[in-house]
Amino acid sequence: MKRDSNSPAERSRKAKAAKLARWKAAHPSVSRGLLYRMDPTVELGAGMGRMTDLDRALWNMTHQWWLMSSRPLRRVKKSDLDAVVAQARTDIPWLAELPAQACKAVAKRYWQTWERCWSGVGGAPNFHSRLKDRPSFDIPQARDLNITRVSKKFATVQVPKVGKVTIRYHRPIPVGARVTGARVTNDHGRWTLALRVELPKPELRSPVESRPVVGFDRGVVIPLAGSDGTEFNHPDWLTPGEKRHLRYLERQSARERHARWDRSDGRGKGRIGANERKTYDAIASVQAKAARRRKDWHHQTSRKIADGYSVAVFEALRIKNMTKSAAGSVKAPGTNVAAKSGLNRVILNEGWGTLLDLTRYKMADNGGAVVTVPAPFTSLTCHTCGSTTPGQRKNQALLVCGDTDCGWTGNADFNAACNILMRAVSGGLVPTLSAGIVDDARSRYELEERTDAMPPVGTEAPLKLDGPGKRENRLGQRTVAA
Ligand SMILES: [Zn+2]
């Protein structure tokens, strides 16, 4: 149906939209999520679990309907989707337990997933699994929440159709923030309330001009090395005791799994029992703890970068390619499979993509910017003279320039960070650069004796990001399965 652009309804709609746009222009704001840990009682936890089940069921039904009705031509409109979801809620009695607003939110989220997919940002929506996806549900209307502080550390939040749930109020909602909704998530047994808020556009924390420009190399030995000599390190995400416990659980699950296969006596793999399931849950809960610590480090590090620098240059790593399995095919089996899979684990474990995303928005808030440059050879080239002599990268930690006139010797990650910064400067990506920064950092860095994490010269470190092997492979002189 074509809209009549002169009808009174249409004119009023346009006027409202224009008014909203004017208000938004006068009150610049940013959307943020505030996370609070929830402490539900057993009954309330079960009630929220029920809500997540309903949310997932509705999502899966919506997806099933989509697959049946819109495969060939993708003619379905947002309004069709809304109507179908609303109809489902009236037709299926048990679905009515999910509040109408939460149902609408499912349709909205489903449509948004498609829109992201069509614009090339994300993947197509898929069925949600009870075990593989984090269970969650929406509370779209902020006025339902009724957040009430009950003590210094705790507050309560009204979860529709479930009840009043205690949350740990570890930080107040900022002054001037407008809560627009919330999402409740169960992260392997830990309930989290994510408040969606609109904050007034934050003030710059310091003038942009007073902050230097920096390049960062993301490495395995040093997670983040800066071209000014700074390093961002973090401890292992799990303590030795937790690692021991995880290993114990993994062995236990393997035992239970093999026992199940033996019991089934060659007829399929059998049904996972309650005890085996418990072991898997315990493993997931330890891993979820590690993930939360990693995210915390990402938030703290990106905050420091955004506060300390005006422009941060990163290498544009294509993590997907880097972490491709080395196993190859049956015809052309890969070499060094175990080492590569170990490296894959290390790369994915760092979550570099997340760090970049977080730094990006914090930088933007603070008047700065994040720039990425192509990565090849930044870790093999001498940043002083530009020499690319093969073998000058002695190991993961050390680079000794192969050019006899230059002979620069120093930390390979620092060298790569300088190269990354200079690549952005020569590419015109960094508008202002005080020329002193790089030189100053270099002289400071060379004075320090770095004996830690540095194997004897001439020995090969087991993990290499851009070793000579990769380079030869790039030039087609040696076949290494990528
Ligand atoms: Zn050199």
Cα–Cα distance for residue pair 365/361, rounded to 1 Å: 6
- What is the CA(406)–ligand 1 centre distance, in A? 4
Tell me, in angstroms, the distance from the centre of ligand 1 to residue 12's CA.
68
Answer yes or no: is pLDDT of 307 > 70.
Answer: yes
Tokens 């943020």, residue? Answer: 32
CA of 392 to the centre of ligand 1 (A): 9
Q: How far is the CA of 471 from the centre of ligand 1 (A)?
A: 19
What's the mean pLDDT in 36-58?
95
Q: Between residues 345 and 8, which one has the greater pLDDT? A: 8
Q: What is the pLDDT of residues 435-475, one digit of tens each?
A: 334 434 333 333 333 333 333 333 333 333 333 333 333 33
Lowest-pLDDT range, 164-173, 185-194, 231-240, 455-464?
455-464
pLDDT band, very low/low/confident/very high, at 23 (cuts 50, 70, 90): confident
Higher-confidence position of 156 and 344:
156
Three-class DSSP category at 45? helix
Element (H, E) at 313: strand 311-316
By DSSP bridging, strand 154-159 and strand 398-400 are unpaired
For ligand 1, the distance from its centroid to the CA atom of residue 449, given in whole angstroms, is 19
Q: How far is the CA of 224 from the centre of ligand 1 (A)?
A: 23
Q: What is the pLDDT of residue 58?
A: 94
Question: How far, in Å, is the centroid of ligand 1 from the Cα of 371?
Answer: 25
User: For residue 138, what pLDDT is reported?
Assistant: 94
* Cα separation, 286 vs 208, whole angstroms: 41
Question: 304 or 377: whose pLDDT is higher?
Answer: 304
Q: Using the mean position of ligand 1's atoms as its centre, give its distance from the Cα of residue 230 in Å.
A: 21
Residue (of 157, 138, 174) closest to 37 by Cα position: 157
- Rounded mean pLDDT, 408-423: 87
Question: How far, CA to CA in Å, does 215 sit from each of 310, 380, 410?
Answer: 11, 16, 17
CB 32 within 8 A of CB 199: yes
Point out the least confidently predicted range of 239-248, 254-263, 373-382: 373-382
* Residue ranges near ligand 1 (ion) with Cβ within 5 Å: 382, 384-385, 387, 401, 403, 406, 408
| pLDDT (mean) for 289-313 | 92
Burial class (CB in 10 A: 0-12, 13-18, 19+), 202: middle
How many angstroms separate the alpha carbon of residue 476 from the centre of ligand 1? 26
Measure 384 CA to ligand 1 centroid, in angstroms. 5
- Tell me, in angstroms, the distance from the centre of ligand 1 to residue 404's CA: 8
Mean pLDDT of 180-192: 92
Q: What is the pLDDT of residue 465?
A: 36
Mean pLDDT, rounded, for 383-408: 81
d(CA 100, CA 104): 6
Which of 218-227, 277-286, 314-323, 341-350 shows the lowest per-residue confidence on average (mean pLDDT)?
341-350
Q: What is the pLDDT of residue 73?
A: 53
Q: Does residue 333 or residue 193 have the better pLDDT? A: 193
Question: How far, in Å, from the CA of 478 to the mean position of ligand 1?
Answer: 26
Q: Which helix (H) or strand (E) covers residue 294, if one does?
A: helix 274-308
CA of 302 to the centre of ligand 1 (A): 31
Mean pLDDT of the chain: 79
pLDDT interval class at 403 (50, 70, 90): confident
